[in-house]
Structure 1
């Protein structure tokens, strides 16, 4: 901790501050700054009517607002808070830096002023479930836990309430990590695969952003990496912290691994069985990996008995292979969080039977080659919708083993019609899985809205 939040706010007095993005993470920040008598210009590309009464509330507190297409013009403020969704190298921010502006973010400042230990989780898949498991395990162990980042609520305004013995668990995206020059006390990387290449200039830039979660650690910090993922395995040689690897496929001399149908951990004190796989309520091998990552993060903080008791009852996080309904013997699952091929592959492998898969969505310019063979192996009917329907169809048709009808493929422009088509053909014993392998922005505001739309359609069947 470099300073307290009050010391930070005191240092801002007399300076002009701009906050870019008036969304979930930055609205509390804007209010906190205004209540500390710090002048704020709140900027957002969306028009006034998109915010309900929020803009009027901020203006009543003293904010100046810049909305619409010119929201980035005239950034000459002393301090500029960047929203994670805005690249740090856009011309307007570059020009502001050259004029002497300090460009930062709500998350970067939180790391400066947080008074307690931080566990950070990133990766291409499994971030939210792993973050949630870690946070809930710590709560069960008696800690006062704050959850933030991509899930939970913005935490900067909460720091006055935090005590040194509390714990913070953060889910961190590549966009949040891009400009970070500090790392959490415990860094977890679940896996890495091509993702968000519509925003990142290259896979190399995406990996470099993720690496920031551990590159600024010291030797007393802990880093938890996936040994089975080639990229994250390589991080072990780059980390300055104490490295814990986890592997579902290899027995490790030091780390977390699967042996005799149970999760084990080994270290200086020897090896011990922590959690039988039969004691994990969540389906899927990827959730075994999520538990291994979490166990690596909380080892020494949470007892094995607490881990076992929790795993028996934890049913997962909304929109992540979420059982919506069983109707006429057909199970309908919402996996809207699956915005990448690797995430959908994990979902497909969670079921013993072949599924009716609903896929497709916004194009993030990532390849679907790896998805094609998995669909042939795990899908009895493929229903495609959204901007990427054609690309996914090509990936399947060009995969070895595709004979023109294995699986049959249907395409629908309308999302509702796609879900209704799955219902029409499904028979007792079938699984209908909505796992898009794509982001949602072609039709929906976010994956949550897409998942909720799916659930509403299914519940009305």
Structure 2
């Protein structure tokens, strides 16, 4: 008799994991609060499909396990029922891992820098000819397991803490928690629970696996304990660690991985990201020569301190991916002065106080969206607007040659945009319209 599995959420990852489970002889039921565009296909393949709500009869104890979209909170009543009944709840990463045994994983989590590290790692792994990218960027892991489950692949995998909350056996060959800072307090019950969830990335690892530990980050050092695999300590400033900088190069023990001049993306934090990606790639079999070659040809990640263009001596940058203060600090550290900061968005419950140390760099902070009033106490010079477009208009009015207009919101986008990508694309469209028309 087939084991019965319930999948909650029919977005791309939910559909992929449903197909993967069905392929491996589970009886799958999938449900979503919205309409399911793949409904007919899923029904035709033998699944039970419920859309526009979760029927009460699905609240039962017959499920072998539940697979939940990571964006759905555990406190949602329908999900909480299964929590209270102690029915295992996984995310699709766990299921993809179970059915792709030949994949080799480099797993990346942390508060900021995940996407840059994962993208760099993917580009480096390409030199081995069997690279794929999955998780928060790229494709759902279950979708790749469905397509390539019997093949050997090197996987650059970006993981959020939401995804890590739903793992059980997942064990990457090399992993990192690149840094920790307050985030997602609108989802997690406490800051401590957020930090603890990140450390799940290495909990199932074996002796020969590697975990990269950032000794420069006090919070990482506080939480990264009881590590079951080999711990590779790294630092941007110290040399008494495994991965370090010396003589304008980056070294792993006595092995030179690359020269600092190979890194073309700006900012010390990006050099740190390159150190991590290079070390992870080395563990997965990439040569130092190919690591250096990748860095020489890598020019950054979209929406992360992305240069949009210059007009009348004013430079415009899209940093829409900066959805918390830690990311904004990294961006602000990349410029000397004369920054016109565009900030605001959905309130994640994170205070902005730590940004006040940059007040002298900020010519003006123009805030918008749900949190627009909260920046008045942070910076000396502020303007509040309703929308990002209005904020950009104000910035154009006051900008002078030598200024930097920086969209680095410190907030998620969900008050006005579907996601940070849409917010960033919209910002770039506005800037390009201004370049063409001379006004907005």
The reply on whether 1:283 has 2:266 as its aligned counterpart is yes
The reply on whether 1:220 has 2:230 as its aligned counterpart is no
> TM-score under structure 2 normalisation?
0.90
Residue 350 of structure 2 is matched in structure 1 by 366
Residues 357 and 433, structure 1, Cα contact 8 Å, conserved in 2: yes
What is the CA RMSD across the aligned residues, in angstroms? Answer: 2.4
Residues 345 and 413, structure 2, Cα contact 8 Å, conserved in 1: yes
Residues 333 and 432, structure 1, Cα contact 8 Å, conserved in 2: yes
Match of 1:420 among 374, 393, 396: 393
- Secondary structure of the 1:307 match is helix
Match of 2:373 among 390, 410, 417: 390
The reply on whether 1:355 has 2:339 as its aligned counterpart is yes
| CA distance 1:284–1:213, shift in 2 (3 Å) | same
- Secondary structure of the 1:366 match is coil
| CA distance 1:95–1:237, shift in 2 (3 Å) | closer
* Deviation for aligned residue 1:415: 1.7
| CA distance 1:100–1:346, shift in 2 (3 Å) | closer
CA offsets 1:360-397 (integer angstroms, 9 cap, x no match): 111110121111212x133222111111122222233x
After TM superposition, the structure 1 = structure 2 runs for residues 235-246 of structure 1, keeping only pairs within 5 Å, are 235=223, 237-246=225-234
- Secondary structure of the 1:25 match is helix
Residue 327 of structure 1 is matched in structure 2 by 311
Match of 1:168 among 140, 155, 162: 155
Give structure 1 stretches of 5+ with no counterpart.
Answer: 1-12, 397-403
| CA distance 1:282–1:295, shift in 2 (3 Å) | same
Match of 2:100 among 111, 114, 132: 114
After TM superposition, the structure 1 = structure 2 runs for residues 37-186 of structure 1, keeping only pairs within 5 Å, are 39-46=27-34, 48=35, 53-68=37-52, 70=54, 74-76=58-60, 77-78=62-63, 79-88=65-74, 90-96=76-82, 101-115=87-101, 116-140=103-127, 142-159=128-145, 161-162=148-149, 165-182=152-169, 183-186=171-174
* Deviation for aligned residue 1:19: 1.2
- Secondary structure of the 2:29 match is strand
Give structure 2 stretches of 5+ with no counterpart.
Answer: 435-440
Residues 108 and 157, structure 2, Cα contact 8 Å, conserved in 1: yes
Residue 8 of structure 1 is matched in structure 2 by none
The reply on whether 1:377 has 2:329 as its aligned counterpart is no
Alignment: residue pair count: 428
> TM-score under structure 1 normalisation?
0.86
| CA distance 1:314–1:57, shift in 2 (3 Å) | same
Residues 54 and 78, structure 2, Cα contact 8 Å, conserved in 1: no
